[in-house]
Chain A
Amino acid sequence: MAKLKVVHYINQFFAQIGGEEKADYPAEIRVGEVVGPGMALTQKFGDDAEIIATIVCGDSYFNENLEKAKADILAMVKEQAPDVFVAGPAFNAGRYGVACGTIAAAVQEELGIPAVTGMYVENPGADMFKTQVYIVSTKNSAAGMRDAVNKLAPLAVKIGKGEAIGASSEEGYIPNGVRVNFFEKERGSKRAVKMLLKKLADKPFETEFPMPDFDRVDPNPAVKDLAHAKIALVTSGGIVPKGNPDHIESSSASHYGEYDIAGVMDLTEETYETAHGGYDPVYANEDSDRVLPVDVLRDMEKEGKIGELHHLFYTTTGNGTAVASSKAFAAEFSAKLKADGVDAVILTST
């Protein structure tokens, strides 16, 4: 049987074009080329499939020009007419994951070509697209490339050949909510008692019905009297006093910073910068107001549009930082904000 034809999508980083400073790289196709992670995929494909073209696109370019990037890439894929489309893996890179999910879903939906991608379960792209395309569950960094490719390649071959796909736990994809009837070897009562015995003995057990994770918080009532309201600033964009005194990590932050801006009218190149390693820092380092709008809020404070700008701001880097960590940081500083009588928060993200 002839090898399946694969078109592979990767970002500027995995194509070795550059890091964040090249994230605005527009989409391009390299026909006949196998690039970056495509090498590992090719090896794993063996005689089953081959990459006939690689599409490269910068993560910021894709997300900021969503419609155009999508249309351009769809046209490129259509021309190659592959049997299957593979995007990523994106690990825990947020914009890359969203790009992979968006384009894989579009290829499948609009071109009728089966598609598969891979990413870490906390990547925002996973929640957004797991019900639309198969997303192989990967580790949170490229150190997990081998593991990712070992799942991604066989699944790509299977869906390319139109073979039946097994349960998420067998194939290694993120559960997509699809349920299939099948006969278990043991009846339910027996399985339930076994599970209970394991639980009582503090042994690991696997539930057959995980509860859906719908963590939604209802909106609070609106601010009634803006002219007397105390407004606080929070950011995941990593703005810190110059020199990053608390050494907030450029990714996978282990803590947040609390900084006093009493008397600070404007964030300048000499006084503030970003610690964030997940976007091109040039613009934020030049003028941190571009991420944390202190200058404008000071003007509005003077004009009486707002009551006051709270004298402390809270900051961390939202780059690859675990959801559990962000949650813990915010629970802690929100209690402080509440205690300080803050009426509303403006939270900015990059």
Chain B
Amino acid sequence: MVKEVERAGIPVVHICTVTPISMTVGANRIVPAIAIPHPLGNPALDKAEEKELRRKIVEKALDALTTEVDGQTIFD
């Protein structure tokens, strides 16, 4: 799906936990996530901390979208 969005001419960032799969699939902008069942959260944290964590990942994703890339790039 990532590739089709890109092919349509829209810059796209892929947030996922298993980044090697994202590389194989062909995403260009990749941001690592927390865990498979909760990529943008951590149920062990309290609500406020968890939202802060989610915000950091989304900020990283937006940074990735505003960064020019040459090829496949993981934004660690």
Contacts and interface: CB of A to CB of B under 8 A. Distances in A.
A219 B6 contact: yes
Contacts, number: 190
Contacts of B11: 219-223, 343-345
B29 A219 contact: yes
B58 A347 contact: no
Interface string A178-222: 000000000000000000000000000000000000011111111
Interface residues on B, range: 35 or more
Interface string A290-308: 1111011101100001100
A95 B10 CA distance: 28
Give the most central of B16, B36, B69: most A CB within 10 Å. B36
Contacts of B69: 219, 222
Interface string B56-76: 011001100111111100000
Contacts of A284: 37-38
A349 B54 contact: no
Contact of A283 (B12, B16, B41): B41
B6 A217 contact: yes
A164 interface: no
B34 to A, nearest CB: 8
A188 to B, nearest CB: 34
Nearest to A327: B4
A128 B41 contact: no
Contact of B13 (A60, A335, A337, A347): A347
Give the most central of A281, A343, A344: most B CB within 10 Å. A344
Contacts of B57: 293
B3 A305 contact: no
A297 B58 contact: yes
Give the most central of B3, B10, B26: most A CB within 10 Å. B10
Contacts of A63: 17-18, 36
B4 A286 contact: no
B1 A329 contact: yes
Contacts of A300: 55, 58, 62
Interface in B24-68: 24-29, 33, 35-41, 43, 50-51, 54-55, 57-58, 61-62, 65-68
Given A219-B28, A219-B71, A223-B66, A280 B37 contact: yes
Contacts of A52: none
A293 B40 contact: yes
Interface of B: 1-18, 20-22, 24-29, 33, 35-41, 43, 50-51, 54-55, 57-58, 61-62, 65-71
The 9 A-B residue pairs with the shortest CB-CB distance, nearest first, are A290-B41, A330-B4, A334-B8, A219-B28, A330-B1, A349-B16, A283-B38, A220-B11, A290-B38
